[in-house]
Amino acid sequence: MSQAEVLRSKLDHPVIDADGHWLEYGPILSAALEKIGGQDAIRGLQMGGTRVRQSLQMTPNERRHAHVPQEAFWGAPTKNTRDRATAMMPKLMYERLDEFGIDFSVLFPTMGLGFPRIDDGEARRALCKAFNIYCAELFEPFKDRMTPAAVIPMHNPEEAIAELEHAVGQLGLKAVTMNSLIERPVEEIKEKRPDSSDLAKWFDVIGIDSAYNYDPVWETCRELGVSPTFHRGSRGKALRVSPSNFCYNHIGHFAAAGEATCKALFLGGVTRRFPDLNFALLEGGVGYACLLYADLIGHWNIRNGDALDYTDPANLDLGLLQELSEKYAGSDMQTAIKARKGLSTRNDDSTTGAISNLDDYSACEIESASDIKSLFVDRFYFGCEADDSTNAWAFDTKNNPFNAELKTLFGSDVGHFDVQDMAGVLPEAYELVEESKMTLDDFRHFVFENPVRFWGETNPRFFAGTRVEKEALAVLRS
Per-residue pLDDT of 375-393, as tens digits, reads: 999 999 999 999 999 999 9
pLDDT confidence band for 112 (50 / 70 / 90): very high
User: CA–CA separation, 289 vs 257, rounded Å?
Assistant: 12
Q: Is 285 left (phi over 0), alpha (psi -120 to 50) or beta?
A: left
pTM: 0.95
CA distance 440 to 320: 60
DSSP tally for the chain: helices H, then strands E: 22, 10
pLDDT of residue 349: 78
> Residue 145: how many CB atoms within 10 A of its CB?
18
CB 438 within 8 A of CB 426: no
User: Does residue 53 carry a pLDDT above 90?
Assistant: no
CA 476 to chain centre: 24
Q: What is the pLDDT of residues 432-456, one digit of tens each?
A: 999 999 999 999 999 999 999 999 9
In sequence order, what are the residues at sequence separation of 6 or more whose Cβ sits closer than 8 angstroms to the Cβ of residue 467? 14, 103, 104, 144, 145
- How far apart, in Å, do the first and last CA atoms of the chain sit? 33
Closest CA to 81 of 422, 413, 386, 411: 422
- Report which residue type is found at 15: V
pLDDT of residue 421: 94
Domains with residue ranges and CATH for the chain: 3-303+368-477 (3.20.20.140), 313-346 (no CATH)
The bridge status of strand 175-178 relative to strand 182-185 is: unpaired
Average pLDDT in the 7-29 region? 97
- Helices 331-338 & 318-328 angle (0-180, nearest 10): 170
**In this model, does residue 19 exceed pLDDT 80?**
yes
Summarize the confidence of residues 81-98 as an average pLDDT: 96
